[in-house]
Amino acid sequence: MPASEVEPAFGYIRVHDASSEEVALLEKQLEEYAEAHNLKLRQIYRERHSTLRVGGLDDWLVEGGVRHLIVPSMDHVSEHPIARLVFYEAVCLDARAELHEACSKS
């Protein structure tokens, strides 16, 4: 795929205790990141459970034909380092997709 061609991406946010304003802000951050990085954000998954559930995440990406997943940050996904590692492995190793942090703490 030529570098100038827009690639599809999915987004992932955790919303179990977020207000509608917070959810709207997170979605906007993902959309802005996608636009700035030549990605087309096709869908945003809103995780409504308080516990991290990665089962099916790889299938969702593969079946959607998407090689990019945008999250607000890995801290947003989970504060626990092992949970973040499991999430990262599901995206990068199982689905062979690239994980992007829209608001990483660089």
Residue pLDDT, tens place only, 32-72: 999 999 999 999 999 988 888 888 888 999 999 999 999 99
What residues are paired with 100 via a beta bridge? 70
Residue pLDDT, tens place only, 12-28: 999 988 899 999 999 99
Residue 100, H or E segment = strand 98-101
Q: Cβ neighbours of residue 49 under 8 Å, at least 6 residues apart?
A: 16
Rounded to 5°, angle at Cα 77 from 75 and 35 = 90
Residue ranges of domains in the chain: 7-101
CATH class of 7-101: alpha beta
| pTM score over 0.75 | yes
The C-alpha R_g of the chain, in whole angstroms, comes to 13
